Every structure is written in structure tokens, then in C-alpha cells.
Amino acid sequence: MGLDVLANLLYQFADNMAFLLLAALGLMIILGVIDVINLAHGEFIMLGAYLTALSYNWGHLPLPACAVVSMVGVGLFGLVLERTLIRRFYQDKLGALVATWGVSLILSQGILIVFGPSMAAVPFPQWTLTVGASSFDGYRLMLFGVAVGAVAVLWWLLYHTRIGVQTRAAMQNAEMAACLGIRIRRIYLLTFAAGSALAGLTGALYAPTTTIVPLMGTGFVDVAFITVVVGGGANPIVGALTSAAVLSVISAPLASISGTFIGRIGLLVAALVVIRFLPQGFSGYVRDLQRRRMGAAAAP
């Protein structure tokens, strides 16, 4: 009985954390590197889901290929959007907010006009696992694996490649990095494209689990924003992981015991508490700790 309950809780935690990570990762790196809030993130996820549905139903591609198509497609769209629109708002955070909100409206209503209110579904792979008396959905465990894998790939890119070093330099002090010859515009362009591609991947992965409608992005964007704010933009990797973990640890057991509604409330209250005490989020707090440690080490 105990093993059953434990397995159930772990499964809920993994599912929740995967959802938060996948929804928030793209937004996190865009905020962390470029310091721009992309309100169209939910619509990028919706675009990824639509691309998956189209390539599955019309192109008859297998699901993994559809996910790649979504990533590439939404990444290219992000590239174009960055080149035409976002780069005018690097210094103007509020302007970026309004502009990306406009983009989100255009995307959702545009998809509604072109494709109608709903899209043919993508089938849900039936990977049922049974542990004792409970049965679990293997697809969601795979999503957890993909989420952690995405974070790992991001970490490797940021810490073990030249472009990663350049990106971190741009995050730390963009002007200094520019003086040293780093092409900041290109970094920002690639980051925005990468963030969009991650959003496309999320849409592709969650497309089988939901009905694909033009407004489906709204279900992802609210938790994404909460996760990003709690995580903080200072360090996308640390921020995403700690924020998703903490929020899931609090909301998953609550949802398990008292229902989805209470789980949601728990998530929001947890976010409130964290922001009250750590206004810069977890990664901001970690960065301040590091700085204090460096300052203490440097002091005589």
C-alpha cells in the first residue's frame, strides 16, 4: 500500500514538473538572455501543436518526425519575428510586452480564421504501466525525461560551447561583451529562435493529450509565467529547475489529496511566498549568494 501511494506521488510530481519545465523553458531563456517578456509564448506552443497535427494528419509522418517539424517550424517563425519586431524593443520592456501581446492576438485569431475552431486530433500513444493497484501513463513519464533532457542539452550548450560562453557574457554585461567583439545581435536572434523552438517542442509533445484549438496556449502561458517569475531570469538553468521542482513539490501532493483546484491554489500561494521573500526569484538569490561569497573571498 505504501509503495503504491509513493509511486503515485512520484508520478504526479514528475508529471507536474515536466509540464512546468516544458511550458516555461523557452520563456525563461528569452527572459534571461534578452530580458524581453514574450507574451506570445502560449501562441508559439499552439503553433507547435498545430504543426504537429498538420504534419501527422496531412503529411502522415510519425510522431517524433512531427515534433522535429514543429521545433524547426516555430523556431524559424521566431527567427523572422525577432528580426522584424522584437529587436526594436531590446531596451523597452513595456513596449515588448505590448508588441508581443499584439502578436499573440494576431496568431490566435489568425489560426481561428484559417483553420476554424478545432483541428483533427493526434492520437495518444497508449503506454500504460501498472504498479500494484494503480496504473500510470508511460507517455507522461517520457515527457518528464524529455523535459530533463532539454534542460541538460541547454546546460551543455551554455557551459561547454563557445556560443554558450558568449551568451553568458551577454547576460552578464552586454556592453562589455560587445566591446570584446561578441556579436550580441546574433546571440539575441539565436536565443529567441531557440526559445521559440522549445515552445514548438512543448506544443508538439502535448498535442496528443489535448484538443487542438486556437486558444489552447492560454492553458500553458499562465503557469509558464509563474514558473519563470519564481525562477528568476539570472540563470535559466538553475531558475527553471528549482522553480519547477519547488512548485511541483507543493502543488502535486495538494492536488492528489484535495483536488485540482486546491492544487492550483497551492501553486499560486507558493509562488506568492517565494516572490515575497526572494524578489529576484531563485536564480537571483543564488546569484546574490555567489556574489557575496566572491566579495567575502576578495575582502582581506
Partner 1 sequence: MDASQETPRTPDPPGAVTGTAENDYRGSPRVTRRELITATAATGVALGLGGKVLGVPNVVRGAQAAAIKFGLLEDRSGNFAIYGLNKWHGTQLAIKEINDGWTLRGGPDGPGGPGVVAKVATKPPTMHPVLNRGASTVSRGGAPSEDKVVWDEADDYLVKSGDTGVLGRKIELIAPDPQSDLRQFQSLARRLILQDKVDVIMGGFASAEREALRPIMDQNKMLYWYNNQYEGGVADKYTFCTGALPEQQILPVMEYMIATYGPRMYILAADYNFGQLSAAWTRAMAPILHGQVIGQEFIPLSVTQFSSSIARIQQAKPDWLVMYITGQNHANYYPQANAAGIKIPMGSSINIAQGFEHLRFKPPALARFHVTASYMEEIPTARNRKFVSRWRKMFPNEPYLAMEGHSAYVATHLYAKAVRLAGTTDKDAVIEALESGIGVEAPAGWVFMDPATHHLSNYIRLAHCDEKHNITFLTEWPHIEPWWTRRLGVNLVKHPEFKQYTPDEDPFFKKGTKR
Q: Return residues touching partner 1 (CB under 8 A).
A: 8, 11-12, 15-16, 19, 87-92, 112-113, 117-118, 121, 123-128, 130, 133-137, 139-140, 170, 174-175, 178-179, 183-185, 188, 208-211, 213-216, 218-219, 252, 255-256, 259-261, 263-264
Nearer to partner 1, 170 or 204 (CB): 170
DSSP, collapsed to helix, strand or coil, labels residue 232 as coil
Q: Which three cell numbers stand for residue 204?
A: 508538439
The crossing angle, in degrees rounded to 10, of helices 41-57 and 2-34 is 110
- The Cα–Cα gap between 232 and 225 comes to 10
Q: Least Å distance between CB 268 and partner 1?
A: 12
For residue 141, the 8-state DSSP code is H
Q: Least Å distance between CB 152 and partner 1?
A: 24
In this structure, the chain runs to a length of 300
Query: First and final CA of the chain: distance in angstroms?
Result: 58
Q: Which residues pair with 136 in a beta bridge?
A: 129
Q: Least Å distance between CB 213 and partner 1?
A: 6
Nearer to partner 1, 124 or 159 (CB): 124
Q: Least Å distance between CB 257 and partner 1?
A: 8
Nearer to partner 1, 164 or 219 (CB): 219
Whether 213 contacts 119, CB under 8 Å? yes
Nearer to partner 1, 30 or 238 (CB): 30
Nearer to partner 1, 126 or 277 (CB): 126
DSSP, collapsed to helix, strand or coil, labels residue 85 as coil
Q: Least Å distance between CB 252 and partner 1?
A: 7
Q: Least Å distance between CB 6 and partner 1?
A: 12
Whether 261 contacts 41, CB under 8 Å? no
- The Cα–Cα gap between 22 and 206 comes to 10
Nearer to partner 1, 141 or 278 (CB): 141
- The Cα–Cα gap between 37 and 46 comes to 18
